[in-house]
Structures are given as structure tokens and as C-alpha cells.
Amino acid sequence: MLIKKNPNGLDRPFASEITPREVYEERRKFIARIAAGAAAGSALWEMANREAFAQGVSTQGAPVQKLAAKANPGFSTTEPQTSLRDATHYNNFYEFGLDKTDPAENAHTLRTRPWTVAIEGEVKKPLRLDIDSLTKLAPLEERIYRLRCVEGWSMVIPWVGYSLSNLIRAVEPTGNAKYVEFTTLADRAQMPGLRSGVLDWPYVEGLRMDEAMHPLALLTVGMYGQVLPNQNGAPVRVVVPWKYGFKSPKSIVRIRFLREQPKTAWNVSAPREYGFYSNVNPKVDHPRWSQATERRIGEDGFFKRKRDTLMFNGYNEVASLYAGMDLKRFF
């Protein structure tokens, strides 16, 4: 290989290789204009979508059902909220595709009415509720939760729902109920991602009973003041903010109370990577990447420092649930 050497014998670039100052500065101005244009476009999209929702339609013209929910200041944060566009266009919902943009593009095929959720197993009062009855079971609240993905990114979203414990009390679990299992819809006609075979469908997740009863665990029917968009888990999902995002199952069709720990989708597929508990823990790395830091969606940029990941995603009030447990073993 021919290597050019500076005739002066110095470890310096040739004059011809140095970018002129005026060119460098013009490039910086150009990049700044591009960034400003992108930010302005995103802001305009956000304004248009918020205004459209206020008028009862989405920016695509589809009807949007608004939800009356009282803000609960006890479940909130002063952190900036993720934009509506990012929250609805950057998603993990493998039933509609593996790429982050696939759910927004493909989830229009999901039919959310009629929709029923069966509650069964170790309960005294098994129920089968349609989505309207489920929504009206308890007063709706707006709660602003952080949600952290195992892949290293996070969002701050105003969710609408009520504590899962309200539903649990309504069905009166027996003394044998130690776990709650959630099963989601698996319909190949509506969900093109099921053909990928990435998981053994349907998607199944679970919580220990005391986790499910914790006030933070939210049975969720909306976000940003409206019913859940399809790509975000319509018409009903669970949000468990102190655990990684895949522990918050979407489009639920069955809730079952069990004596034994349920076999969950990701734990069955890759047990070394996805434990049953999956609490946000910066000290327990994923086998393929660190969990010590995270990237907040909407704070992108070449020079934007990643955030430090907080234990339990910052929800330290759940720490007592795991007193005495080895959280590296029970990850």
C-alpha cells in the first residue's frame, strides 16, 4: 500500500487536506439549517395532531375517541413528555412487524371492536367484560409514567387508566392465586407480524400477585387524553413502569390467575436475556449490551449525553416488593 508522507517529515496533514475555514463554517450552518427544519417540521406535526385530537379526528382523518380522565398528581413527573409523534411512531409491537416504524404503518388492520377480555382462573367471580365495561370499572386517571425499553431507550407518556388492583379486587382472587398471567391477541388475519415466527404466539406475560396489586401497575385504555392508538396496544394493555417495556403487554384478551409462575413469551424464547422479573436494573446488563444508560426518545443528537438508568426506573416505592431477593439472580 502506498502511503503519502509529508516532505517536511512532520506528523501533520498536507495543506491540501485541510478544510478551509469558510467551507467548514458553511457546512456547520447547513447542518444547523437542516436540524432546525426537522425540528420545525416535527413541531408543526405535533401541533396539527394535538389540534386534530381536540376536534375528535386524527391527522389521517380517522375518528378519535377522547377520554375524560382526572390527572393524578401522585403519579406524575416534571420531566418533559415525549412528543405524540414519537410515542406513536417508534414502537415495539412485533405482532405488526420487527422495525420500530412497522406498528404505525401496519396496525390499522387491528379491529378493536367488538373486544372482550376474559378474567378467569383462581378467582371467585370470573368475568368476561367488553371494552366499554372494562373502561368503566373504575374512574379513569391520567398518570405520567416513564417507560424504559430493554433495548436502551425510554419515553415519558401521559397514560390513561386505573390501578390494575381495581380489576383484581372485583374478581376476588382465591388464596391460591400467586401470579397473574396476561395473554394478548394473536390473529394472523389482523397481525402480519405473526408470520415472522420470532416468538411462540400468542404473547404471554405475567406478574407476581403483589406486583399486580401495587398501585403503580396500570390497566391502561388510553394515552394523551384519547383511546389507545392501535400501535400502542389498543384497546387495553397494562403499563408496569418499574419494569422493562416488554413486561407491559398490549391488546390483552385474557387475564388468568394462577398458582404457579406463568411461562412468559420472551423468557421462554431467550431465558438468558429476559428474566421473569425484568425490573429496570442498571447493574444487570443484557448479555448483548449495557443497561447502565438510556436514550430518551426526542433527545436525539450527536452530542446529547445519554441518561443514567435509574434502579426500578426511578420508582423506588416498589423496592419493598423485592426485599431480600438477589436481583441479579432473579433478573
Give the tens place of pLDDT for each residue, 78-103: 999 999 999 999 999 999 999 999 99
Residue 146 lies in a domain: yes
User: Higher-confidence residue: 11 or 232?
Assistant: 232
Residue 91 lies in a domain: yes
Residue 28 shares a structural domain with residue 166:
no
Residue 7 lies in a domain: no
Residue 278 lies in a domain: yes
Residue 218 lies in a domain: yes
pLDDT digits (tens, 9 = 90+) for 157-208: 999 999 999 999 999 999 999 999 999 999 999 999 999 889 999 999 999 9
Residue 33 shares a structural domain with residue 92:
no
The arithmetic mean of pLDDT across residues 150-162, rounded, is 97
Residue 90 shares a structural domain with residue 140:
yes
The arithmetic mean of pLDDT across residues 287-302, rounded, is 89
Residue 199 lies in a domain: yes
Residue 100 shares a structural domain with residue 212:
yes
Residue 15 lies in a domain: no
Q: Which of 183, 186, 159 is nearest to 96 (CA)?
A: 186
Domain residues for 85? 68-322
Residue 78 shares a structural domain with residue 32:
no
pLDDT digits (tens, 9 = 90+) for 3-24: 444 444 444 444 444 445 554 4
Residue 47 shares a structural domain with residue 106:
no
Please count the structural domains in the chain: 2
Q: Which of 198, 217, 188 is nearest to 268 (CA)?
A: 198
Give me the pLDDT at residue 175, please. Answer: 97
Residue 97 shares a structural domain with residue 235:
yes
Residue 143 shares a structural domain with residue 222:
yes
The arithmetic mean of pLDDT across residues 242-262, rounded, is 98
pLDDT-based confidence at residue 138 (cuts at 50, 70, 90): very high
Residue 44 shares a structural domain with residue 163:
no
Give me the pLDDT at residue 302, please. Answer: 61
CATH of the domain at 134: 3.90.420.10
Give the mean pLDDT of the chain: 87
Residue 92 shares a structural domain with residue 188:
yes
Residue 160 shares a structural domain with residue 269:
yes
Q: Which of 39, 138, 46, 34 is nearest to 86 (CA)?
A: 46
